[in-house]
Amino acid sequence: MFRILAGALKLNLLEFSAMALPFQREAHLQAALSGIVFDIIVIGGGASGLGIAVDAASRGHSVLLVDQSDFAKGTSSRSTKLVHGGVRYLKQGNLSLVLEALRERGLLVRNAPHLVHSLPFVIPNYHWWEGPFYGIGMKVYDGLAGRLGLEPSRWLSREDVLEMVPNLEPEGLSGGIIYHDGQFDDARLAVNLAQTAAEQGGVLLNHIGCHGLMKEAGQVAGVLLRDQETGLEFQVKAKVVINATGVFADAVRRMDEPNAAALISPSQGVHLVLPREFLPGESAIMIPKTDDGRVLFAVPWHGRIIVGTTDTAVTEVSLEPRALEEEIDFIFTQIRRYLTRDPHREDVLSHFAGLRPLIKAGAGGSTAALSRDHLISVSDSGLMTLSGGKWTTYRKMAEDAVDHAERIGALDHRVCRTHHLPIHGADSPELRVGDPWAVYGSDARAIRDLVVTNPSLGQRLHPELEVMKAEVVLHVRHEMARTVEDVLARRTRALLLHAKASVEAAPSVAELMAAELSRDAAWCLDQVESFRQLAAGYLLA
């Protein structure tokens, strides 16, 4: 059966690029094994890689994307959940970066309305000069957004601020500024981008590691892959190979050039997740300057509050970075200055760390000052690397990368189509922000149908989690979820929202997945134990 399917998929490139496979791992694996020489292979399934896959496939190029773990396993599921121009960059005078990010924010709000929405931010003022200083700055911010802007900023009285943020420290408060930026669910956007790429004819595989590069006449001609589930090793050829692995970019570059100088200067950001009562109301707060010069956010998200982030230079990279005690203490110290009720360790529902793939500058200096803009580099053997950037500008990064890939791979130049390309799930006018299924967009109908067919799937996984069993079935059937972690960390956000509850829900998730994936009891036990060990790193002692 395996060989028959592979042979059936030996299509010419024109037929292949127009074909949309069902978003199921088996079908995509067979396509990768079919012997096709792809136009583009993308290594890395985070924001950058997925953006490239969507862009390339929508132009009609044949594209394969692989990730050693799951889509958005790393940095791309560990953000502050903001789609923003970057108020800090405005203060630094980096207007070009702010202008580009604000434009991309506007496009993303239009293209993924089920995942991206406007959120009010309050900047509390405790000094006389803060009102005019930040007020004028936010008016500039509004102006740079132009027609793609959200709601305009305005000055707030002391009474207005306390009405919007009841738990804010009132002593010394003189007023504030309100402005609007975008909020989103990063991992859900990643899954929907993968589905969008597949709908455009792309082939995407999670849990497939790249362990080497193929070369012909000294030029990169493909990749050596290993299926993490079965151990199967195989090779796939391509005209262009793009390294979009974020903080792991240097490791892939050294598969090509063992002595390649480091391109990435990783920095760690940490967030604490608190119960909603620490910041009631619908507004976030932005603290414009902390002790280390960074801004700090406290943001309502999925019924919780996310507080962060830090910026700590690190020398080692990992798929599961861990928060340092000094980072946790830093966040507590900063946020307690602004809240009437001080959060403590026992209040933290979860905490998570992510690594930023900053482009390496000269030695020394704070990583907070390094560029978040992106860089495209090409080695002598033709390996292309996309590094830097941030979620907000993923689409523009991908457009630039595919334009470049067309040139170095001698591909037909085709116009970018992603400016106004709806992202999977966008057609969902009946769903509103706050609806627990809003992040599924049009796929919410499929969840409802599952519950109608089998009412037991309407049960919640855990009293502290707004996740139904039907969602897990959808994740396996239509979102390529392969492990309990895939479901509880990224398809749902249970691990980030309530780590302890997610551990308690893991056996139910494993049982539901085993039925869909034809796995046995031993698999369930292994999955639950693996997830328990993983989740321990998200709990504060």
Give 330-369 as a DSSP string.
HHHHHHHTTBSS---GGG-SEEEEEEEEEEP-SSSS-GGG
Are 42 and 197 spatial neighbours (Cβ–Cβ below 8 Å)?
A: no
- Give the per-residue pLDDT at 433: 60
Is CATH 3.30.9.10 correct for 82-184+264-360?
yes
Q: What is the CATH number of domain 24-75+188-261+378-420?
A: 3.50.50.60
> Which of these, 67, 112, 33, lies nearest to 420 by C-alpha position?
112
Residue range(s) occupied by CATH 3.50.50.60 in the chain = 24-75+188-261+378-420
For 6, how many CA atoms within 13 A lie in the half-sphere containing its CB? 10
Residue range(s) occupied by CATH 3.30.9.10 in the chain = 82-184+264-360
Per-residue pLDDT of the chain in tens (541 residues, 90 and over written 9): 233 333 444 444 445 545 689 999 999 999 999 999 999 999 999 999 999 999 999 999 999 999 999 999 999 999 999 999 887 777 777 788 899 999 999 999 999 999 999 999 999 999 999 999 999 999 999 999 999 999 999 999 999 999 999 999 999 999 999 999 999 999 999 999 999 999 999 999 999 999 999 999 999 999 999 999 999 999 999 999 999 999 999 999 999 999 999 999 999 999 999 999 999 989 999 998 888 778 899 999 999 999 999 999 999 999 999 999 999 999 999 999 999 999 999 999 999 999 999 998 653 344 444 445 789 999 999 999 999 999 999 999 999 999 999 999 999 999 999 999 999 999 766 666 667 788 999 999 999 999 999 999 999 999 999 999 999 999 999 999 999 999 999 999 999 999 999 999 999 999 999 999 999 999 999 999 999 999 999 999 7
Q: Which helix H or strand E contains 56, and what residues bound it?
A: helix 47-58
For residues 202 and 16, what is the distance between their CA atoms, to the nearest angstrom? 9
Give 164-208 as a DSSP string.
HSTTB--TT--EEEEEEEEEE-HHHHHHHHHHHHHHTT-EEESSE
Contacts of 395 (CB under 8 A, 6+ apart): 51, 55, 104, 107, 108, 418, 419
- What are the respective helix, strand and coil percentages of the chain, to the nearest 5? 40, 25, 35
- Give the per-residue pLDDT at 365: 42
> Quick one: 438-536 is in which CATH superfamily?
Alpha-glycerophosphate oxidase, cap domain (1.10.8.870)
Residue range(s) occupied by CATH 1.10.8.870 in the chain = 438-536
